Structure 1
């Protein structure tokens, strides 16, 4: 069926999200520009939906929710069984497969999150860390329309292949979107009390020492060790996201306003700088990040930090370990000989940190779906360590709480077989009047504890600013 494209006034995705927030399960994927400081290959494309598109969806025709071992599908009825959630999503997508539209990244399909703890449904894992925020391990809507903002062409469109929605209903939705919608009853977003860390510096140092001992013993080469920050909040989470996106522009931003299928509402606010997996016409790409230095307002200090990172043997080695891991992961479902490293250690500036970014590409082999790739690579190696399974076991032992959505993935898989997903870092979750945020980094043999702990605070710096700006007077 041909793609229907209905023009809308040009505005960014954030505006269109406010126009559909009254509908169930509104979600926004938003791209922000970043600066490439050093280009070490001919691969010069911008990251993040091409730094070009924003995508807005709402009112899914089906909601797929997984809590191990059960997968629920909420559509006309609620179905619940122990089927693999990736297979369930694929079953909803494949009968409605459509041709790829080159100028539209997403015109319907699956969109949502895949939490880090979904890895337990793929590989057996120990049960050690506390689970005090038991949200679904997977939450995906099947959407039959999307609003796509194209910032290169400066246009917005409502798009759909009308697999589930009638053309007349799509026209009606278009008319509603043209009407300005106000939300006069929202409560101001407010932060209360102090931030609670689940690992103070002393606890972090103890965990860090255990990681070093595991590395010396030959159990692993690298472990991503993270701490969690939590604070009490109230009011409209969208206000927090809108401020967050101004503080911390990133190429893979996302806002999800959903519920857990059992009546518990929550929001996800992601400012991720990292692409996990992209599939476009069977071409596969991943962009792992490893290596971090803080930004400085002083231009000379900022330049020195960037140069120190670019020349750091330790950070390059850390990055290379994850590149090798991801080459192996995507090689499971890519054509033999197609997996190539197109860029190594590319230096990129983000709002609060410098990062080293590499690019690995391949070609999806015949018979494989984007969801096979996602499942085969999940969770992303850049936020576990190497080797992956042993790293995850060590993380479960040393981190006090389950990670949940943090270090999972947020993104879409279209009816056309395309996919783009982030690594859900720099990501806050608001649930039960608590906002949580994790920050971590890779620990290797020559890591320094004080530096690594400070790196977690550098990565959390924009979150700390967000909290300070919404703090209630004491």
Structure 2
């Protein structure tokens, strides 16, 4: 599993990568998304919503980046999640401190472009990190809105449990600092087999074919990491 992690990091360098080795199971991830960061009494969340593949040439690359930045649908989805995160942080942050400091900016990775936003707030004096987790988990970018009803629908429709997928990995220090990712672009390795899940947000004007292609774009780096190993069989469930 650690060799798989090294390959994945080389193919898809990501700011919130993770490698956890337990008895009989390993988690190997290269997540681009921060769920929560706490430094002092300030909180930050950076939801990712909006994706395009990288181009095969510099011109195509620029065109795809511009297409994502100008997409009304992708921007609307990003803003929807930003609004959800603002509301979640507002439950535990001081009145008037919750601010959107970046909105739908372009981030570039080896296989995809993403739109990312940043929301910050200052924790209430009577709230701690556990209160923050209770108010915000799971991340809004992987539930949609309204959050509770969206999770109920996900539970009804998805045929398999998500396991670690779309959860969070990170740390909570003795000094009170915390940094957690969203578990996406991540393998679960068990008994010589590597499992991963990819998905996307479905809204009223989603096009099924486009959403399916987006999941393949998100899986590209994971599949490339697997294909570097001999005698690999990729199964789509």
Confirm or deny: 8 A CA contact 2:226 2:232 kept in the other structure. Answer: no
* Pick aligned residue for 1:258 from 14, 17, 22: 22
Please list every run of at least 4 consecutive aligned residues from structure 1 whose deviation after the TM superposition is greater than 3 angstroms.
Answer: none
In 1, Cα distance between equivalents of 2:134 and 2:195 = 26
* Pick aligned residue for 1:449 from 205, 208, 215: 208
In 1, Cα distance between equivalents of 2:178 and 2:227 = 36
Q: Which runs of 5+ in 1 are unaligned?
A: 1-236, 260-264
CA deviation string 1:397-426 (max 9, x = no partner): 211101010000000000001100000000
The reply to whether residue 244 of structure 1 matches residue 8 of structure 2 is yes
In 2, Cα distance between equivalents of 1:246 and 1:272 = 13
CA deviation string 1:274-308 (max 9, x = no partner): 00000001110000110000012311001000000
In 2, Cα distance between equivalents of 1:453 and 1:426 = 16
The normalised TM-score by structure 1 is 0.48
Secondary structure class of the residue paired with 1:408: coil
The residue aligned with 1:305 is 64
Alignment of structure 1 residues 303-382 onto 2, 5 Å? 303-382=62-141
Secondary structure class of the residue paired with 2:36: strand
In 1, Cα distance between equivalents of 2:151 and 2:192 = 29
The reply to whether residue 269 of structure 1 matches residue 33 of structure 2 is no
In 2, Cα distance between equivalents of 1:351 and 1:334 = 35
Secondary structure class of the residue paired with 1:326: helix
The normalised TM-score by structure 2 is 0.96
Larger Rg: 1
Secondary structure class of the residue paired with 1:301: helix
RMSD over aligned CA atoms reads: 1.2
In 1, Cα distance between equivalents of 2:230 and 2:56 = 24
How big is the shift at 1:473? 7.7
The reply to whether residue 291 of structure 1 matches residue 50 of structure 2 is yes
Q: Which structure shows the higher helix fraction?
A: 2
In 1, Cα distance between equivalents of 2:4 and 2:226 = 9
In 2, Cα distance between equivalents of 1:243 and 1:402 = 27
Q: Which structure shows the higher strand fraction?
A: 1
How big is the shift at 1:394? 1.0
In 2, Cα distance between equivalents of 1:473 and 1:451 = 27
